[in-house]
Amino acid sequence: MLKISGISYSIGGQPLFQEASVDVPSGHKVGLIGKNGTGKTTLFRLIRGELPLESGEIELPSNCRIGSVDQEVPSSNKTLMDTVLEADTERAALMAEAETAIDPMRIAEVQTRLADIDAWAAEARASTILKGLGFDTDAQQRACSEFSGGWRMRVALAGILFTNPDLLLLDEPTNYLDLEGTVWLENYLQNYPHTVIIISHDRSLLNKAVGAILSVEDHKLTYFQGPYDQFARQKEEQRAQQTAQARNYEARRAHLQNFVDRFRYQANKAKQAQSRVKMLERMAAVAVPEHLESQVLTFPEPEALSPPIVNLDGVAVGYDGPPVLQRLNLRIDQDDRIALLGRNGEGKSTFAKLLAEKLTLSAGTMTSATKLRVGYFAQHQIDELDADATPLKHLASARPDASKAWSRSRLAGFGLDAEQADTNVQLLSGGEKARLSLLLATLEAPHLLILDEPTNHLDIQGRDALVDALTQYTGAIILVSHDIHLLGLVADRLWLVQDGTVVPYDDDLEAYRSQMLNAPSSQDEKPKPVTRERATRSEIVGLKADVRECETRLTKLNEMRDQLALKLSDPALYGPEMGSQAEIWQKKYAEVMEGIARGEALWTAAMEKLEQALAQSK
SS (H, E, C) 159-227: HHHHHCCCEEEEECHHHHCCHHHHHHHHHHHHCCCCEEEEECCCHHHHHHCCCEEEEEECCEEEEEECC
Cα–Cα nearest to 523, from 186, 144, 59, 134: 134
Q: How far apart are the first and last CA of the chain?
A: 63
Q: How far is it, in rounded angstroms, from Cα 582 to Cα 588?
A: 10
Cα–Cα nearest to 220, from 56, 347, 443: 56
Q: How far is it, in rounded angstroms, from Cα 588 to Cα 567?
A: 11
Q: pLDDT tens digit string along 140-182?
A: 999 998 888 888 899 999 999 999 999 999 999 998 888 989 9
Q: pLDDT tens digit string along 383-422?
A: 789 999 999 999 999 999 999 999 999 999 888 889 999 9
Q: What is the dihedral of CA 277, 279, 282, 283, to 10 degrees?
A: -110
Would you say 341 and 496 are in contact if contact means Cβ atoms under 8 Å apart?
A: yes
Cα–Cα nearest to 239, from 201, 292, 203, 284: 292
Q: How far is it, in rounded angstroms, from Cα 321 to Cα 323?
A: 7
- pLDDT score recorded for residue 403: 92
162: Cα separation from own chain's centroid: 17
Longest dimension (CA), the chain: 117
- pLDDT score recorded for residue 525: 41
Q: CA neighbours within 13 Å on the CB side: how many for 349?
A: 13
Cα–Cα nearest to 355, from 433, 444, 466, 447: 447
- pLDDT score recorded for residue 287: 62
Per DSSP, the three-state class of 104 is helix
Stretches in the chain below the pLDDT threshold 50: 292, 521-533
Would you say 56 and 20 are in contact if contact means Cβ atoms under 8 Å apart?
A: yes
Q: pLDDT tens digit string along 223-275?
A: 999 999 998 888 777 777 777 777 777 777 787 788 778 777 776 667 777 77
- pLDDT score recorded for residue 529: 35
Q: How far is it, in rounded angstroms, from Cα 497 to Cα 501?
A: 6
- pLDDT score recorded for residue 526: 39
Q: Which amino acid is at 320?
A: D
Which three-class secondary structure string do you get for 308-377? CCEEEEEEEEECCCCEEEEEEEEEECCCCEEEEECCCCCCHHHHHHHHCCCCCEEEEEEEECCCCCEEEE
Q: How far is it, in rounded angstroms, from Cα 516 to Cα 342?
A: 10
Task: Give the strands of the sheet with 501-504, arranged side by side.
Answer: 374-378, 448-452, 476-480, 337-341, 493-498, 501-504
**What size, in residues, is the chain?**
618
Q: For 507, which DSSP code?
A: S
Residue 195 CA: distances (Å) to CA of 49, 177, 403? 18, 22, 54
Which three-class secondary structure string do you get for 416-478? CCHHHHCCCHHHCCHHHHHHHHHHHHHCCCCCEEEEECCCCCCCHHHHHHHHHHHHHCCCEEE
Handedness of CA 599, 604, 610, 612 (dihedral sign): negative
Cα–Cα nearest to 536, from 618, 434, 417: 618
- pLDDT score recorded for residue 534: 53
Per DSSP, the three-state class of 79 is strand
Would you say 224 and 215 are in contact if contact means Cβ atoms under 8 Å apart?
A: yes
Cα–Cα nearest to 140, from 150, 539, 129: 129
Q: How far is it, in rounded angstroms, from Cα 501 to Cα 478?
A: 16
- pLDDT score recorded for residue 522: 36
Cα–Cα nearest to 146, from 78, 71, 70, 69: 78
- pLDDT score recorded for residue 477: 96
Would you say 450 and 478 are in contact if contact means Cβ atoms under 8 Å apart?
A: yes
27: Cα separation from own chain's centroid: 21
Q: For 295, which DSSP code?
A: -
The dihedrals phi and psi of 505, each to the nearest 5 degrees, come to -105, 120
Q: pLDDT tens digit string along 281-312?
A: 777 666 655 554 556 788 999 999 999 999 99
